[in-house]
């Protein structure tokens, strides 16, 4: 069977002293650099989400105003 990632057969060297961490249940699955990159990505994602919420609220508010104006125009016509 072919691997999608090709990483299954690659062995990574473990830093010295790692065996003690594994026995205590503390296994590091990401490097510090990867964690920092993930933190930055999450911060950017959160900022984009905040902007989307603000944009949605603004569009919804404008739609409500437009609906009131159209209703007033229609009511005055009939």
7-64 confidence digits (pLDDT tens): 444 455 555 555 556 677 788 899 999 999 999 999 999 999 999 999 999 888 877 7
- Is pTM beyond 0.95 here? no
Domain count, the chain: 1
| Structural domain includes residue 16 | no
Q: Tokens for 68, please give them.
A: 């009131």
What does the angle CA 52 – CA 49 – CA 47 come to, to the nearest 5 degrees? 110
Assess if residue 64 is contained within a domain. Answer: yes
Minimal CA–CA distance to 26: which of 37, 40, 15? 15
Q: Find out whether 45 and 51 touch, Cβ atoms under 8 Å.
A: no
How many Cβ atoms sit within 10 Å of the Cβ of residue 18?
A: 13
Write out the residue range of the structural domain in which residue 65 sits.
47-78
Whether 71 is covered by a domain: the verdict is: yes
Report the pLDDT value the prediction gives residue 49, as an integer from 0 to 100.
Answer: 97
In a domain, 55, yes or no: yes
Residue 76 vs residue 78, higher pLDDT: 76
């Amino acid at each position: 069977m072919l691997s999608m990632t090709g990483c299954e057969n690659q062995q990574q060297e473990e830093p010295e002293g790692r065996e003690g961490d594994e026995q205590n249940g503390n296994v590091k699955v990401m490097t510090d650099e990867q964690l920092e990159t993930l933190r930055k990505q999450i911060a950017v994602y959160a900022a984009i989400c905040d902007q989307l919420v603000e944009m949605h609220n603004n569009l919804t508010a404008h739609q409500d105003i437009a609906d009131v104006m159209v209703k007033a125009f229609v009511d005055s016509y009939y």
